[in-house]
Amino acid sequence: MAREFTSVGVVGLGTMGAGIVEVFARNGIDVVAVEISAPALERGQATLTRSTDRAVAKGKLDPADRDALLDRVTFAVGLDALHAVDLVIEAVPEHLDLKQRIFAELDRVCKPDAILATNTSSLSVTEISVATSRPNQVIGIHFFNPAPVMKLVEVIRTVVTSADVVADVEALCARLGKVDVTINDRAGFIANALLFGYLNHAVALFESNYASREDIDAAMKLGCGLPMGPLALMDLIGVDTAYEILDTMYRRGGRDRRHAPVPLIKQMVTAGLLGRKSGRGFYTYERPGSPVVVPDEATPVAPADAFSEGGRAIAKVGVVGSGTMATGIIEVFARAGYEVVSVTRGAEKSASICEAVKTSLNKGVVRGKLSEEERDGALGRITWSATLDHLADVDLVVEAVVEELSVKKALFASLDEICKPGVVLATTTSSLPVIEMAMATQRPADVVGLHFFNPAPVMQLVEVVRTIRTAPETVATARAVCAALGKSSVVCGDRSGFVVNALLFPYLNDAVKMLEASYSTTDDIDHAMKLGCGYPMGPFELLDVVGLDVALAIQRELYLELREPGFAPAPLLEHLVTAGYLGRKTGRGFRDHTHR
């Protein structure tokens, strides 16, 4: 039988500590909430009161339940108040020496069978435990912010943590309505080890002026369905906290350069630009602690219209290709009122893509997304062709053929001969160098990347990729076209992976390496990222959907271009692809999909 916890102590009443107090008190457990001084105790009490009052205002908590919850909490200054509790959770700032001092004192104060837990997100639970005479009763219980809302708890056992202690804490998590993942003591555990490599990489893109903060954040929200962009999330976490976590993971985690803090992060900490809590970080906020972003000197000023930047008028569009992306792009342009010329390799493929577009538009009618008149109008604007010569009078060509550089270069050379002067030539490549295609023509200034996301009719994001030869008016035209399609565009340079894939696939690769090292399971890693970080899909779910062969090809491109050791494709990913386990499309990837 699991141990019954009747009273717990919480040390440190900042945002996390106050949230943990609320979680326990909501679930009928008496809490002794401890701070170092009377003013700090008052701040913690006020944080708890604000949170429960918000829950009442939103109808998520009855006033009577709120009052009962608050009655279960005893506030006290000093650790001596914890002498009778069954479990203590420490939630003080991420400094090892501070935590070790607190645990040494807890060891003296608490009853012999009390479990001592730390909410650390990156420090070694083992190093904290050895400050006590009972390391077998020390465990990590890592809640996520905001603790009352987030479902995930990482339970971290050291090599000496008692199995009974682990089982008791797992049962407690279930009682609290949380989903726990139990793991060994390793830098960053699951969620932070995967999350902070990604955040650090996003800061590196921003630091190098590769893309604006707004475009980096919009790309990851719209392209991946993430709840927040990486730079806004850094501001929420606290730039100083992020620095401490990255620095700890770098030192404890084998000095992986993916976790070496980008210099800009340290500079911002030194300058006091700590994010929301200081009122300024990557963005500027209304006041310290406010979530409301206000314009500052870096906020982009939208032009009056695209043509003020020299954009060209686009009325007729050519789309080359017959795959899923080409089908979606044809539909998007036709529905937005453009005349579209679809060019494929042969009448059979033209008939096939025509049927695919009709089927998709009919689904739109059935779902009430468009009328029959709109469907017929869209179909009436499409011309089906099997010869590139029919692109002689279009204003824009979008290439969506196979991801092979030689094929794309040959196509662009042909388009250069066929198309009239001034036509914008766009590629939908997701990973190949756009400049290679541009230089296959005599008009590199007119070539741009237009990376749509799949399915194109649904996904809001388009990455507009400028090469070092792309003219400003070509970029302006591309952005104006995206706006006319009802899409959000982000502008970035011609580097492998652009914004989304450059940030997404190394994170997925890190997850594969974590699995490969037998640190955790596919299910627990997926749970950690969905429940701890609010991701719509876990990394292994996503890899099986994308296709392991596609993921491997993109990761190889990133590694070849950047030569960063941390970007080398995980051997497990290569082995699965070699074995033909490519994900859902073959019925087997990281999971077996044949019986689902």
pLDDT at 496: 83
pLDDT at 596: 61
Catalytic residue numbers? 121, 142, 154, 192
Residue 446 has pLDDT above 90, yes or no: yes
Question: pLDDT per residue over 210-228, tens digit each?
Answer: 999 999 999 999 999 999 9
- DSSP state letter for 420: P
Per-residue pLDDT band at 331 (split at 50, 70, 90): very high
- Radius of gyration of the chain, Cα coordinates, nearest whole angstrom: 27
Per-residue pLDDT band at 355 (split at 50, 70, 90): very high
Please compute, for residue 54, the number of CA atoms within 13 A of its CA located in the half-sphere on the CB side: 10
Mean pLDDT of the chain: 93
Q: What is the 3-state secondary structure (H, E, C) of 301-338?
A: CCCCCHHHHCCCCCCEEEEECCCHHHHHHHHHHHHCCC
Residue 189 has pLDDT above 50, yes or no: yes
pLDDT at 167: 96
Q: What is the mean pLDDT of residues 135-149?
A: 94
Q: What is residue 208's three-state secondary structure?
A: coil
pLDDT at 254: 72
Per-residue pLDDT band at 307 (split at 50, 70, 90): very low
Per-residue pLDDT band at 303 (split at 50, 70, 90): low
Per-residue pLDDT band at 306 (split at 50, 70, 90): very low
Q: Which two tokens stand for residue 588?
A: 């087997």
Query: Residue 205 contacts by C-beta under 8 Å, 6 or more apart in sequence?
Result: 211, 216, 499, 502, 503
pTM value is 0.87
Question: pLDDT per residue over 107-129, tens digit each?
Answer: 999 999 999 999 998 899 999 99
d(CA 14, CA 403): 50
Question: pLDDT per residue over 503-521, tens digit each?
Answer: 999 999 999 999 999 999 9
Per-residue pLDDT band at 310 (split at 50, 70, 90): low
d(CA 333, CA 357): 12
Query: Residue 422 contacts by C-beta under 8 Å, 6 or more apart in sequence?
Result: 312, 395, 446
Per-residue pLDDT band at 302 (split at 50, 70, 90): low
Per-residue pLDDT band at 258 (split at 50, 70, 90): confident
First to last CA, the chain: 35
Q: What is the mean pLDDT of residues 279-292?
A: 94
Indicate the angle between helix axes 191-207 and 500-516, nearest 10 degrees. Answer: 150
- Cis check: omega of the bond before 148, within 30 degrees of 0: no
CB 265 within 8 A of CB 258: no
